[in-house]
A and B are shown apart, each in its own frame.
Chain A
């Protein structure tokens, strides 16, 4: 299988593995006053007592609601987004996209476009024959052949929106005019729109235990058939790229990449046959990612290719009509899912047959979403036997990839909806069926006989029934409210869902921490800023370790020259893996600073303490060295620098991790259904989520609240509908309906708990990026089902007015 990842990944420095040292629970107080004692990493012998462990420590940056570092520039309109970059002499690209869903490409006539004054160049697939297709970033190794997307189609188009040609002109308006003059002759081929009518391209089974026997002998077997609609991340900023090739130096500069810039750099370098060190992807602000933005798309090669060919800067700014057919779609699955229960409601086995509609190609995510769907489907439950089959079907629609909580949004909906239907059929309480089957704290860590993303599934730490009970207690009034509203004739329902998330996927992340002589600290991380606030979070982590104000820490993410080993921001990994790398690098800087401070102070290193951001010797509190002083003592020419010392006060560290960490949570929704119009109003919503440790609680809550709004889109409104010819019917925001302020609950309640720190990283953190969205479809559908008093399932999402009216009859 084509994968450039294996070939291209630069060997990282020797990984540093900290000894897992669970941090104690955080104090419940909203104003943290003490820092948990974390043991120093096992690889740091000789490190003096951690300065934050001492009684003198006065404040904690971690756990504090410090203002976001990103905000100032963003509220001033001074963020640096890709379309803000203009280079002298730049040319503008317009992509010509297929207007048909499936056809042989007979001819692409570009003569008229080329003849337009001001058109610089027109590129077609014929110019790129020999260039490999876009590689899979996360290959399993069993991907079928012939499924990868070419950079430009040359013999066949497989979806409306597939790039066919690129027109380069002096002006973007002109490029758009000329692109309309490109005529493409198509010979129609059969169009597959409905995945259930097509042969799967591939598929796989995931199982353990004897599910067949369990189903044969179970007292109760309940099966439902439910679907999730095709929808997508749709970040507010469309994509774009600017590429500039300097012939003299051979350096190719690129603006606009995000999420996984180092991977993308390596792909570009390989495909253009340039040394990776000469390809520089700049750090940028990005207008939201949510899994889709920043993956390697055809345009990510086209624009640099054109810049190099034309020897001038080339710019491409995607418009929204393109974006809605070009950026990864996601989620479209059908689940025929069944559970086997003992007489008392004990879960004996689960089986699922999933049909996954992946659109026209396997893009960079390969089979990741199907894999995550079936490996995460058992969730937080004690499940003796499991058998899942997932068929991956390629259709003539926009290719799919990940979207925030990939596979879990879909699987959590199928499983939690099944549990409600089953509880009603068996005749036990819907909460009780979950209580009986949730894994208890005594059963953790719990190893499942499954592998997800190349790692064993080991549910690390937590109290699932405890959080479920807390969430239900918090929403007890809602049940009363629902009853009262029903008595007044309203069609109101309450729904809940329990879910398991995953976060902190490795294999590693790298961070550099440098202290300058003016006391300013710089962090170069391999994560990327997608709006999640990672600059703030990483600054807090470094500031905590160095005992300084977080405002003194300047974080630069995702610049491939400054951090050439970055793995990127995805899978809720930036705080977990990236943050841990910053913690290790800051710890190494501290260790070095203590040694050098000892030389300056003329005492053994063991006698140096860091308090209030200054170094002093025990018993000599009057003689204090600032971080800037110590950085000065490490500078070239300093008398405190020994010949064997590397000058500067800086450290690069890698945090490597074998296992993911598994946050978990509960969603509760109270909805009011209008039986006549089919409108579903979400009256109240709670997200309870266990994150191990919240570096910045405001940011965690923001992730959860925003996730709910996004999740409601997929549950109630958003759908990429296609007609029978494969023509997309939602290519504007008038047809693709994202929630506005009127469609979201007036208030989303959040309950962020820090009861089960992850044992797998020095910070004890679990990822917080996805738990806000994971169970939205599940809780909302369960609430609608409750409101309408359905005995069966809701069928398919989104629960659009049309569908709700049909269900309510």
Chain B
């Protein structure tokens, strides 16, 4: 007998009402029920961080969160970073700094950085590195990721 729940999620500003099993992860709800496939599953046990999304502005592992736990919440995914088709400064910086190769972990790093810079706009490079260590990347050696996030912190500071 399935345990079904009606939930409401606002994803990147769009409201969705849907019925989900209570054990269904937020990652599966986003990816397979709503089609936000930019949120990736790399380990499903909360270590790699590829599935990082923002729940009411705070980074969370979508693989360790049930869809029902996010009922009534506002979710931000990688698909919401660009506005009117234009890449955000973080997205551009990742490309400019060669901070991605296969791109599978990239959405998680982008969302992590998005939340981090919103909360801590003046990080040192060492602090950025410490935060980047929350997620795993197997291609880049992290150098470009740290540089990209540091670049954006700097340019946002300068434009304030």
Decide: B140 and A702 in contact? CB cutoff 8 A.
yes
Contact partners of A733 in chain B: CB under 8 A: 43, 45, 47-48, 136
Contact partners of A173 in chain B: CB under 8 A: 21, 23-24
Q: Counting CB contacts under 8 A, is B29 at the interface? A: no
B39 (CB) vs chain A CBs: closest residue: A77
Q: Counting CB contacts under 8 A, is A808 at the interface? A: no
Q: Do A235 and B138 form a contact, CB below 8 Å, given A699-B98, A741-B132?
A: yes
Q: Do A320 and B37 form a contact, CB below 8 Å, given A287-B104, A741-B145?
A: no
Q: Give chain B's interface secondary structure class.
A: loop
Decide: A237 and B136 in contact? CB cutoff 8 A.
no
Contact partners of B44 in chain A: CB under 8 A: 319-320
Contact partners of B140 in chain A: CB under 8 A: 702, 705-706, 709
Alpha-carbon gap, A705 to B145, bound state (A): 12
A320 (CB) vs chain B CBs: closest residue: B43
Q: Which of A290-328 contact B (CB under 8 A)?
A: 290, 317, 319-321
Q: Counting CB contacts under 8 A, is A367 at the interface? A: no
Alpha-carbon gap, A238 to B45, bound state (A): 13
Decide: B95 and A67 in contact? CB cutoff 8 A.
yes
Q: What are the nearest 6 A-B pairs in CB distance?
A: A77-B38, A531-B102, A74-B103, A287-B104, A709-B141, A77-B78
Alpha-carbon gap, A321 to B45, bound state (A): 9
Alpha-carbon gap, A742 to B146, bound state (A): 11
Cβ of B108 to closest chain A Cβ, rounded Å = 9
Q: Counting CB contacts under 8 A, is B94 at the interface? A: yes
Cβ of B77 to closest chain A Cβ, rounded Å = 7
Contact partners of A78 in chain B: CB under 8 A: 38, 79
Cβ contacts B88-118/A at 8 Å (1 or 0 each): 0001001110101111111100100000000
Decide: A236 and B42 in contact? CB cutoff 8 A.
yes
Contact partners of B32 in chain A: CB under 8 A: 86
Alpha-carbon gap, A709 to B137, bound state (A): 10
Decide: B102 and A76 in contact? CB cutoff 8 A.
no
Q: Counting CB contacts under 8 A, is B144 at the interface? A: yes
Decide: B102 and A285 in contact? CB cutoff 8 A.
yes
Decide: A75 and B104 in contact? CB cutoff 8 A.
no
Decide: B129 and A285 in contact? CB cutoff 8 A.
no
Decide: A744 and B142 in contact? CB cutoff 8 A.
yes
- Pair count A-B, CB < 8 A: 171
Q: How large is the interface on B (under 10, 10 to 19, 20 to 34, 35 or more residues)?
A: 35 or more
Q: Counting CB contacts under 8 A, is B41 at the interface? A: yes
- Other-chain contact of B102, A287, A319, A734 (Cβ < 8 Å): A287
Contact partners of B42 in chain A: CB under 8 A: 236-238, 287, 320
Q: Which of B57-87 contact A (CB under 8 A)?
A: 77-79, 81-82, 87
Cβ of A696 to closest chain B Cβ, rounded Å = 10
Decide: A237 and B102 in contact? CB cutoff 8 A.
yes
Contact partners of B78 in chain A: CB under 8 A: 75-77
Q: Counting CB contacts under 8 A, is B133 at the interface? A: yes
Q: Do A76 and B100 form a contact, CB below 8 Å, given A733-B48, A747-B143?
A: no
Most buried by B among A321, A533, A706, A741: A741
Alpha-carbon gap, A16 to B107, bound state (A): 43
Decide: A706 and B79 in contact? CB cutoff 8 A.
no
Decide: B50 and A236 in contact? CB cutoff 8 A.
yes
- Other-chain contact of A75, B23, B47, B110, B142 (Cβ < 8 Å): B110
Q: Which of A40-84 contact B (CB under 8 A)?
A: 67-68, 70-79, 81, 83-84
Cβ of A436 to closest chain B Cβ, rounded Å = 33
Contact partners of A748 in chain B: CB under 8 A: 141, 143
Contact partners of A286 in chain B: CB under 8 A: 102
Extra inter-chain contacts (10) besides given A76-B78, A76-B91, A287-B42, CB under 8 Å: A74-B103, A77-B37, A77-B39, A78-B38, A237-B102, A287-B103, A707-B141, A740-B142, A742-B129, A748-B143
A-B residue pairs in contact (CB < 8 Å), sample of 26: A67-B95, A68-B95, A72-B87, A74-B102, A75-B94, A76-B79, A76-B91, A77-B79, A81-B104, A83-B37, A83-B41, A236-B105, A236-B137, A287-B40, A319-B44, A532-B101, A702-B140, A706-B101, A706-B141, A732-B45, A733-B43, A733-B45, A733-B136, A740-B132, A741-B130, A744-B143
Q: Give chain A's interface secondary structure class.
A: loop
Q: Which of B2-24 contact A (CB under 8 A)?
A: 21, 23-24
Q: Which of A234-262 contact B (CB under 8 A)?
A: 234-238
B47 (CB) vs chain A CBs: closest residue: A733
Alpha-carbon gap, A732 to B42, bound state (A): 11
B80 (CB) vs chain A CBs: closest residue: A77
Decide: A235 and B110 in contact? CB cutoff 8 A.
no
Q: Do A236 and B48 form a contact, CB below 8 Å, given A71-B100, A79-B103, A531-B139?
A: yes
Q: Counting CB contacts under 8 A, is A148 at the interface? A: no
A703 (CB) vs chain B CBs: closest residue: B101
Contact partners of B107 in chain A: CB under 8 A: 77
Decide: A741 and B139 in contact? CB cutoff 8 A.
no
Decide: A71 and B103 in contact? CB cutoff 8 A.
yes
B95 (CB) vs chain A CBs: closest residue: A71
Contact partners of B130 in chain A: CB under 8 A: 741-742
Alpha-carbon gap, A54 to B14, bound state (A): 56
Cβ of B148 to closest chain A Cβ, rounded Å = 10
Cβ of A803 to closest chain B Cβ, rounded Å = 23
Q: Do A290 and B138 form a contact, CB below 8 Å, given A285-B102, A740-B133, A741-B146?
A: yes
Cβ contacts A498-541/B at 8 Å (1 or 0 each): 00000000000000000000000000000000111100000000
Alpha-carbon gap, A237 to B141, bound state (A): 16
Contact partners of B87 in chain A: CB under 8 A: 72, 75-76
Alpha-carbon gap, A699 to B87, bound state (A): 21
- Other-chain contact of A702, B37, B45, B110, B144 (Cβ < 8 Å): B144
Q: Do A75 and B103 form a contact, CB below 8 Å, given A738-B138, A741-B145?
A: yes
Decide: B23 and A531 in contact? CB cutoff 8 A.
no
Q: Counting CB contacts under 8 A, is A561 at the interface? A: no
Alpha-carbon gap, A532 to B100, bound state (A): 10
Q: Which of A634-691 contact B (CB under 8 A)?
A: none
Q: Counting CB contacts under 8 A, is A195 at the interface? A: no
Q: Do A236 and B91 form a contact, CB below 8 Å, given A320-B42, A320-B45, A741-B146?
A: no
A734 (CB) vs chain B CBs: closest residue: B47
B107 (CB) vs chain A CBs: closest residue: A77
Cβ of A29 to closest chain B Cβ, rounded Å = 20
Decide: A235 and B144 in contact? CB cutoff 8 A.
no
Contact partners of A533 in chain B: CB under 8 A: 101
Contact partners of A285 in chain B: CB under 8 A: 102-104
Contact partners of A530 in chain B: CB under 8 A: 102
Q: Counting CB contacts under 8 A, is A708 at the interface? A: yes
Contact partners of A71 in chain B: CB under 8 A: 94-95, 100, 103
Contact partners of A607 in chain B: CB under 8 A: none
Alpha-carbon gap, A74 to B78, bound state (A): 10
Contact partners of A747 in chain B: CB under 8 A: 143
Contact partners of B110 in chain A: CB under 8 A: 75
Contact partners of A83 in chain B: CB under 8 A: 31, 37, 40-41
Decide: B106 and A732 in contact? CB cutoff 8 A.
no
Most buried by B among A78, A79, A238, A747: A79
Q: Which of A4-34 contact B (CB under 8 A)?
A: none
Contact partners of B101 in chain A: CB under 8 A: 288, 531-533, 702, 706
B105 (CB) vs chain A CBs: closest residue: A236
Alpha-carbon gap, A234 to B94, bound state (A): 23
Alpha-carbon gap, A235 to B94, bound state (A): 20
Q: Do A84 and B102 form a contact, CB below 8 Å, given A75-B95, A706-B141?
A: no
Alpha-carbon gap, A251 to B39, bound state (A): 31
Contact partners of B145 in chain A: CB under 8 A: 741
Cβ of A485 to closest chain B Cβ, rounded Å = 19
Alpha-carbon gap, A741 to B142, bound state (A): 6
A710 (CB) vs chain B CBs: closest residue: B138
A290 (CB) vs chain B CBs: closest residue: B138
- Other-chain contact of B136, A706, A732, A738 (Cβ < 8 Å): A738
Q: Which of A190-208 contact B (CB under 8 A)?
A: none
Q: Do A84 and B31 form a contact, CB below 8 Å, given A75-B103, A733-B48?
A: yes
Decide: A81 and B136 in contact? CB cutoff 8 A.
no
- Other-chain contact of A76, B31, B38, B96, B138 (Cβ < 8 Å): B38
Most buried by B among A287, A320, A698: A287
